[in-house]
Amino acid sequence: MSSQDMLKNASTLASYNVLLQVMFRVLTFFLNAFTLRFVSKELIGVVNVRLTLLYSTLVFLSREAFRRACLSGRTDHHWRQVINLLWLTLPLGVLWASLLVCVWLWLLEVPDPLTIPHYGPAVGLFALAALQELLAEPLWVLAQAHMFVRLKVVAESLAMVAKCVLTVVLVVSAPQWGLYIFSAAQLVYTGFLVLCYFVYFLRFLGSGEANRKYFPLQRVADLLPSRVEGEPVIDWTLARLTWSFFKQSFLKQILTEGERYVMTFLNVLSFGEQGVYDIVNNLGSMVARFIFLPIEESFYVFFAKVLERGWDVRQQKQEEVAIAAEVLECLLKLVLVIGLIITVFGYAYSHLALDIYGGSLLSSGAGPSLLRCYSSYVLLLAINGITECFVFAAMSKEEVDRYNLVMLALSISFLLLSYMLTWWAGGIGFILANCLNMGLRILHSLFYIHRYFLYSQWTPLRGLRPSPLLLLALALSAVLTALSEGVFCCDGGWLLRLVHIAVGAGCLLGVLVTVLLTETKLVQFVRTQLLPRYGKKHT
């Protein structure tokens, strides 16, 4: 497959992932708004912080390193050995589940059973849901490596819809079940994921479509662990790379979920305060998750396949380096523009957004200040996602090992900063600590990218320089929307709120027109690569 074809596939995958994440976040957005009317913020805090942290930690530590290693390089792996390696995620998950369940039950503070019942069984059920999801891991990697874009969209869409429907039904009909509601919904979600992947491959393997695509596996039995006489059981090169990523994944998980670990293990916020913080965090990170994360995941696959890991830029195929550099520059410009827009408009519309979403429960306390700070943090999230996406795809195994030491230092500093800043500034301290650490990670990645392209003609970091006219438009929008909030929002009734919204809409339109006129290269990239191409290709 040529570099252009891989770019088209990565772009298509990113487009579908973005649409998928938009749907997920919209559904979750309305689901949280709905459940806020029926359950307490303390229950929301336990589910969205304590139990979700257990689930995400177990899943991430069990599979992330395998994903990064097995999606590195091109698709001409010895797939039977790769499948054997990927099935190791399940026993590894069982080990992590045994350890983490003991910690969650016996070392952490147990919620009051009168206000938050069924905590113990819920811990076990969330761990079981994580193990259930690991059953589909070999199939997920196969689908990603061969760009089966529709499979992921359909599977995760069905799973999310089923989860939301069950949650709504149980919250309305049996609110006294407490944590059982959310445990059952999580089990249904992972069950649908596994079912969809297995049904798809049962139908696909051995079909005419599989033969036309020269798919490396022919039978359903090939999806299970097996050994071929005279060949190693697993690909030891990928195994060593997995170990390198595994050491890094633990540190990355601390950085990714650091504030939840501090809240969970150090009790710096009550369960109610954790609930409010998590709701604000989900609102603030919505765009980051449904736009930035899918782009990062899809183009990590692109960079990993176009570039030879660990090779100097002068050793690479120059036409492929040129494509990678151009894509990196456009991606950096894209996320920078989106991040700046969110930062500017997030300041003036945080209070209104929280008031509409959750009423005085969210808008009367520290919620607006939290969301304003998070709007600025989104800009750093955006840039870091793309820079690390490239860096992790280009690093050699030795460089990955050295970067583990950097991640260790960042993890320790983040935990210390989170603890100190939270005692000083409450929930805002978490965001400030995240900003500082994210800034350091960005600097490391920028230095790496600069050195990588130093002896070439390409300078993709130009993508971090927006046009002066765009900066002027953003500055004017910041002033106008801040003045509008002071005059029209948010205690004067809906008519004045609509005026405030209209001012923001006008400013946003001006910014977008400025982007169209000044960032022509970016506009061309989005139009040709990131807008959905699938329908065009199959009509």
CB 515 within 8 A of CB 485: no
| Mean pLDDT of all residues belonging to the chain | 83
Q: Is there a domain that residue 151 lies in?
A: yes
Q: Is there a domain that residue 17 lies in?
A: no
Helix (H) or strand (E) holding 206: none
- Determine the pLDDT at residue 25: 63
- The answer on pLDDT for 443 being more than 90 is yes
- Determine the pLDDT at residue 139: 92
- The answer on pLDDT for 166 being more than 50 is yes
What domain range includes position 156? 41-244
Q: Is there a domain that residue 342 lies in?
A: no
pLDDT band for position 535 (cuts 50, 70, 90) = very low
CB 180 within 8 A of CB 122: yes
Which residues lie below 8 Å from residue 202, measured CB to CB, with a gap of 6+? 220
More confident residue, 302 or 505: 505
Domain total in the chain:
1
> ∠ CA 35-36-42 to the nearest 5 degrees?
110
pLDDT band for position 101 (cuts 50, 70, 90) = very high
Which residue type, as a one-letter code, is found at position 538? H
Q: Is there a domain that residue 138 lies in?
A: yes
Q: Is there a domain that residue 267 lies in?
A: no
- The answer on pLDDT for 18 being more than 70 is no
Q: Is there a domain that residue 266 lies in?
A: no
474 closest CA partner among 423, 513, 448: 513
Contacts 24+ apart (CB under 8 A), 416-421: 418/258, 418/259, 418/262, 419/262, 419/266, 419/268
Q: Is there a domain that residue 49 lies in?
A: yes
- Give me the residue label for tokens 């969301």: 371
Q: Is there a domain that residue 183 lies in?
A: yes
What token pair was written down for 16? 């579908």
267-295 tens-digit pLDDT: 777 887 788 788 887 777 776 666 787 78
Give the Cα separation of 461 and 387 in Å (integer): 10
Give the Cα separation of 126 and 134 in Å (integer): 13
